[in-house]
Structure 1
Amino acid sequence: MTISQTEVTLAEFEAFDAAAPEGLHVELINGRVLVTPAPDGDHDENMVFLRKQFEAHDPELVLYHERGLAVPAYRAGRARVDGAVAPLGYFRGQPSWADPAGVLLVVEVTSGCEKDADVDRIDKRDAYAQAALPVYLLVDRHRGEVVVHWDPEGGHYQHAGKAVFGAKLRLPEPFGFDLDTSDLA
């Protein structure tokens, strides 16, 4: 849900975020405040399924769940990513809206209705590319597919790949493994 089509300042966003009721996620993406409900059970199970794969591939990497990142692109931004893969201990001492410089991959899982999924498909993809996050993984529950974007340059990801639920999806380096999508829903 978009609260306003008018751009807000970072200070205005921080005041709104502090006043938001528990159970709502508030983000600032490309100058717009976005409010979404807390994830459902299938969303959480998808994240657990992914986390186990990343940690099995490299025990020094952790998929942190619902992490706040400062995505400074061309506008100040604040994204509460569904998952952020980073080295173990990366977020120690970081504030609520952490520096994304050491994050290797961000994950979003669509939720809500189909029309809201474009925020994950387009708005967040573009914000993450502008913030030079190396890899963006989207679990699109509405389309029954997983999409990976990588190699950000000039504010856009240069490469993408996708697989339908049930197929393997090859992740780019530094991961370089086939992601199992058989248990995603």
Structure 2
Amino acid sequence: MQLEFVDGQLHTKRPLNVEDFEELERRAPETVRLEYINGKLELKAMSDGNHSCIFMWLLRQCMQQRPDLSLYTGSGVKTEANRKGRARTDGVLAPRGHFRGHGEWSDPGGILMIVEITSRHPDTNRRDRVDKPVGYAEADIPLYLLVDRENSTTTVYRRPTDGRYEQALCQPWGATVELPFPVNITLSTERLKDYAD
């Protein structure tokens, strides 16, 4: 399979199906994180310092309020209709031990929330704000939390119905953010202002 990198995007010479993607992903170096979103090969940006600090901020709040759950980082999740997408998430909130025995790409059943933290990648708008909410809703993941570094906001997507989230509540950093059932966590986002780029 031939790959080319054009205008900041990774492309294949021929159309890619999910089986081809999984084979490519297995052969990729560990330092390369690939996704298959909306039928396209995607290169996921590596985390920078602020990205990592935001993840740790969220991890601490989740552990304090819901010690029965774990916030997993870098999990591969099957998404989209018929589970044809493959997302490498920034975070997955699920019961402790949820991924025991799972392979590289986990079925979304039992996942309570997916977390994405935007990066400085040119495709962030399309991928994190457009394609991923659709893919996660189609997979019936109850909540999608988008921590948007560019806009200094958090958006909670909820109630997946017919491949779309019925509600998306966007709030500026500093607001109190409610992660409703089945997560039931209240986030104090004032600290996120320290990580504005």
Same fold, TM-score > 0.5, yes or no:
yes
Matched position secondary structure for 2:54: helix
- Asked whether 1:55 is paired with 2:60, we answer no
- Asked whether 1:164 is paired with 2:176, we answer no
8 Å contact from structure 2 (residues 133, 144) kept in 1 = yes
d(CA) in 2 for partners of 1:10, 1:125: 19
Map 1:116-155 → 2, pairs under 5 A:
116-155=124-163
- Matched with 1:43 is 51
- Matched with 1:182 is 190
1:3 to 10, 33, 41: 10
In the alignment, residue 21 of structure 1 is paired with which amino acid? P
- Matched with 1:32 is 40
Q: TM-score, normalised by structure 2?
A: 0.87
Count of matched residue positions in the alignment of Structure 1 and Structure 2: 185
Residues 75 and 169 of structure 1, relative CA distance in 2, 3 Å threshold: same
Deviates more, 1:167-176 or 1:69-78: 69-78
The structural deviation recorded for 1:19 is: 2.8
The structural deviation recorded for 1:115 is: 4.6
Matched position secondary structure for 1:129: helix
The one-character-per-residue Cα deviations of 1:44-72 (angstroms, maximum 9, x if unpaired) are: 11111101111211110111011111115
In the alignment, residue 171 of structure 1 is paired with which amino acid? L
Matched position secondary structure for 1:138: strand
8 Å contact from structure 1 (residues 162, 169) kept in 2 = no
In structure 1, the gaps of 5 or more residues are none
The structural deviation recorded for 1:74 is: 4.5
Question: Which has more radius of gyration?
Answer: 2
**Root mean square deviation, CA, Å:** 1.8
8 Å contact from structure 2 (residues 51, 117) kept in 1 = yes
d(CA) in 2 for partners of 1:46, 1:88: 21
Residues 20 and 147 of structure 1, relative CA distance in 2, 3 Å threshold: same
The structural deviation recorded for 1:172 is: 1.4
8 Å contact from structure 1 (residues 111, 117) kept in 2 = no
Deviates more, 1:86-95 or 1:49-58: 49-58
Matched position secondary structure for 1:47: helix
- Asked whether 1:14 is paired with 2:22, we answer yes
8 Å contact from structure 1 (residues 30, 75) kept in 2 = no
Q: How high is the sequence identity, in percent, across the aligned residues?
A: 37
Q: TM-score, normalised by structure 1?
A: 0.92
d(CA) in 2 for partners of 1:8, 1:125: 22
